[in-house]
Amino acid sequence: MFRKNKAQSIIEFAVVFAVIVAAIIIMGQYIKNALSSKIRDTADTFGQGESFEPDKTTVDSQLKNE
């Protein structure tokens, strides 16, 4: 009887552990997407909503070496 309860406890622990690991993995994706969105919004704010395009982006003022 004691051996059966111990095996059941180990299986329950493994299932709970697997659920927690799965939840962390899923939450990681949501956190990654949220942070990416915040970074993109901040970059758009500082860049006046424009994205960098190598062929189309120009500099308005030239730096002078004095």
Q: In whole angstroms, give the CA distance from residue 29 to residue 14.
A: 23
Phi-psi region of 52 (alpha: psi -120 to 50; beta: other; left: phi over 0): beta
Return the DSSP state at 59: -
pLDDT band at 25 (very low <50, low <70, confident <90, very high): very high
As a whole-number percent, the residues of the chain with pLDDT over 70 amount to 65
The whole-number average pLDDT for the span 9-27 is 94
Q: Which residue has the higher pLDDT, 12 or 66?
A: 12
Q: In whole angstroms, give the CA distance from residue 27 to residue 21.
A: 10
Q: Using alpha carbons, select from 14, 13, 10 the residue that is nearest to residue 2.
A: 10
Q: Share the mean pLDDT of the chain.
A: 79
Q: In whole angstroms, give the CA distance from residue 44 to residue 51.
A: 7
The whole-number average pLDDT for the span 15-44 is 91
pLDDT band at 50 (very low <50, low <70, confident <90, very high): low
